[in-house]
Amino acid sequence: MSNEFTNPSTEDLKPTVLQQSGFPKRNLVVIILGFLLVASIIVISAFLIRNKMQSELPQKSTAQLIPAVPDQIIIQFKSTTSEQTKHEIIKKYNLTLVDTLKIGKEPEYNLFKIDSTKRDATLNDLKNNPDILDVELNGIGRSQFTPNDPSYSSSQWDLPMVKAPEAWDVTPGSNSITVAVIDTGIRCSHEDLTGRIDTNKGQSWLSASPDKCTDYNGHGTGLAGRIAASTNNFKGIASLAGLNNNIKIISYIDADSSNSYSNFNQAQAINKAVSDGAKVINLSQGTLSSNAFTTAALDAAYTAGVVVVASSGNVSFGCSSGGILFPANYGQVMAVGSVNSSGSLYNTCTGPKMAVVAPGQSIYTTNRTSDAAYSSMNGTSFSTPQVAALAALILSVNSGLTPAQVKNIITSTATCPAGQTCPNNDYGYGLINAQAALLAASGGSPSPSPSPSPSPSPSPSPSTSPSPSPSASPDCVL
């Protein structure tokens, strides 16, 4: 009978390398298990350290993101909380009872006044208090104003895109704020600009168009409508800073009928706008290189507390070697790019000085050809005045802000486009958000509408001789 077991082959009888070296297999198992144990300990330790580090990082309070009354807080004590404990909490946080609300069988809601600088810290502290059932901010709801201007709903896609309706609920602007438009002039008699132009101030540096209220090109009239066309007047268009006819525009002419200007005229206009008391300067102009006198004028404007906003330039015109044109690429100026209705970059010179973007394609605005004419404009020239208008509204709710602070509010509240990491060279900090910017400037609550004040009395302007024909070109209108 054959044996069911076969004899091992010669190969089977050869010792393994471990056996040759006298290393038992069980030792190998122990080493592998030890290695896995050490690796596990390292991974778990790293996870715990990471979580600890994250917990120690300063967390942004959700309270800072909610539009709310800045000096109020609402507390609902537990039904089991004693009156003595309630008084101790009120005293500890220096709260003042304003009102109470009793709903059904629920413990009453208590509205307290609090130091606004301590509100968020107190809110976070009280959330962990075992004697409190609920604690919240006194949030602000807003009715979203819709203007009656005929073209608002049909042609002005850009205003809802930057949260203009929500911004109008925060402030209508202040009649103490003026915006200088340095350009080709303005048709002051236009139906949507009547009463919006401070004709007691301003100046022209061109012998061919000495009247501030003449526009031989149309560029300047379009810019003026973009900033402050009368809003809710049953005519034409709305504008971001056009509500209640508060914010005014001053016209300075440095560019001729071909939309060209000289650098010296531009510097003169900036200097005159500062002396006239303008709070914001709109420069929808640009050239390929900087110069000493315009730079000096911009420095003086910045020192005087004037916000200067300029177009980054249109690709169709030509960009500088660094991308963005001058003066937008200068440090004291806020550079503005352009996007279309889908939020994509549109005909924009880009670069590291880009601050924000605003709508700049098919922008429906006032036209110089008649007192009731309107047309669509394109380019960074027409995204820039929307940022100038926002700067004017910000100063309306907080006139003490510096140009750097206004810029910080606009950039920090901008919306970074999906898929982008901001800031970047293309979009800067993103698309302006007028509502968020105004809430940040006003401390989270709407400012009261300013009471009307008499128009400024005429002030003499120093005489200046007209300059010869310009030699440099601004943004072109596409």
Residues annotated as catalytic (active site), given as ranges: 183, 219, 381
CB 317 within 8 A of CB 328: no
- Between CA 434 and CA 173 the distance in angstroms is 12
Strand order in the sheet with 68-77: 96-101, 109-113, 68-77, 132-139
- Between CA 238 and CA 230 the distance in angstroms is 6
- Between CA 29 and CA 43 the distance in angstroms is 21
For residue 231, the 8-state DSSP code is B
Q: How far is CA 50 from CA 44, 55, 60, 179, 433, in A?
A: 10, 9, 18, 50, 35
SS3 assignment, position 206: strand
- What are the backbone dihedrals phi and psi of residue 437, each rounded to the nearest 5 degrees, phi first? -65, -45
Q: How far is CA 252 from CA 309, 336, 383, in A?
A: 15, 21, 19
Residue 464 CB partners (closer than 8 Å, separation 6+): 203, 205, 268, 272
Number of helices and strands (H, E) in the chain? 13, 13
SS3 assignment, position 333: coil
The residue type of 175 is N
CB 216 within 8 A of CB 185: yes
- Between CA 442 and CA 419 the distance in angstroms is 30
Q: End-to-end CA distance of the chain, in Å?
A: 104
Q: How far is CA 69 from CA 136, 141, 454, in A?
A: 11, 10, 32
**Residues across the chain:** 478
